[in-house]
Structure 1
Amino acid sequence: MPTLSGSLRAMSNTWVQEESGGSAAQLIALLDAVDDLPDARQLREDSYELLRLRPGSTVVDVGCGAGRAVAEMTDRGMRAIGLDLSEETIAEAGRRRPDGDFRCAEAYRLPFGDEEVDAYRAEKLYHELPDPARALSEARRVLVPGGRVVLIGQDWDTFVIDSDDAALTRTIVHARADLVPGARTARRYRSLLLDAGFRDVALEVRTGVFTGDAMLPVISGLAEGASAAGAIAPADARRWIAEQRARAEADRLFLAVPLFLASATRV
Structure 2
Amino acid sequence: MSEKSTETSATERLIQVLDALDARPAAARLRQRSYDLLRAEPGDRVIDVGCGTGLAAAELAARGVKSLGLDLDDRMIAEARRRHPDAEFQVADALRLPFGDGELTGYRAERVLHNLPDMPAALAEARRVLAPDGRIVLLGQDWDTFIIDSDDPDLTRTILHARANLVPNPRSARRYRALLLDAGFADVEAEVHTGVFTDPLMLPLIAGVAQAVRAAGAITEEQRAAWIAEQTHRARNDRLFVALPMFVAWARRP
Query: What's the TM-score once normalised by structure 2's chain length?
Result: 0.90
Consecutive unaligned residues in structure 2, runs of 5 or more? 1-5
Aligned pairs for 1:84-99 within 5 A: 84-99=71-86
Matched, 1:22 2:47: no
* Distance in 2 between residues matched to 1:84 and 1:66, nearest whole Å: 9
* Distance in 2 between residues matched to 1:98 and 1:216, nearest whole Å: 31
Alignment size in residue pairs: 250
Matched, 1:257 2:248: no
Match of 1:78 among 55, 65, 71: 65
- 8 Å CA contact 2:77, 2:89 repeated in 1: yes
Matched, 1:200 2:200: no
* Distance in 2 between residues matched to 1:98 and 1:209, nearest whole Å: 33
Match of 2:122 among 119, 128, 135: 135
Q: Equivalent pairs: percent with the same residue?
A: 59
- CA RMSD, aligned part only? 2.1
Matched, 1:38 2:30: no
Task: Provide the residue aligned with 1:229 in structure 2.
Answer: 216
Deviation, 1:94, is: 3.0
* Distance in 2 between residues matched to 1:99 and 1:20, nearest whole Å: 25
Task: Provide the residue aligned with 2:87 in structure 1.
Answer: 100
Q: Describe the SS at the equivalent of 1:156.
A: coil
- Of 229-238 and 187-196, the range deviating more from structure 2: 229-238
**Structure 1 pair 174/97, CA: closer, same or farther in 2 (3 Å)?**
closer
Consecutive unaligned residues in structure 1, runs of 5 or more? 1-17
* Distance in 1 between residues matched to 2:7 and 2:213, nearest whole Å: 13
Task: Provide the residue aligned with 1:144 in structure 2.
Answer: 131
Q: Describe the SS at the equivalent of 2:188.
A: strand
Deviation, 1:19, is: 9.0
Q: Describe the SS at the equivalent of 1:127.
A: helix
Specify the code of the residue in structure 2 equivalent to 1:203. Answer: A
Deviation, 1:93, is: 2.9
Deviation, 1:184, is: 1.2
* Distance in 2 between residues matched to 1:223 and 1:91, nearest whole Å: 29
Q: Describe the SS at the equivalent of 2:144.
A: helix
**Structure 1 pair 91/165, CA: closer, same or farther in 2 (3 Å)?**
closer
Matched, 1:163 2:158: no
* Distance in 1 between residues matched to 2:15 and 2:243, nearest whole Å: 24
Specify the code of the residue in structure 2 equivalent to 1:80. Answer: S
**Structure 1 pair 123/250, CA: closer, same or farther in 2 (3 Å)?**
same
* Distance in 2 between residues matched to 1:220 and 1:248, nearest whole Å: 12
- 8 Å CA contact 2:188, 2:250 repeated in 1: yes
* Distance in 1 between residues matched to 2:95 and 2:198, nearest whole Å: 37
* Distance in 1 between residues matched to 2:101 and 2:164, nearest whole Å: 35
- 8 Å CA contact 2:48, 2:68 repeated in 1: yes
* Distance in 2 between residues matched to 1:85 and 1:75, nearest whole Å: 24
Matched, 1:119 2:126: no
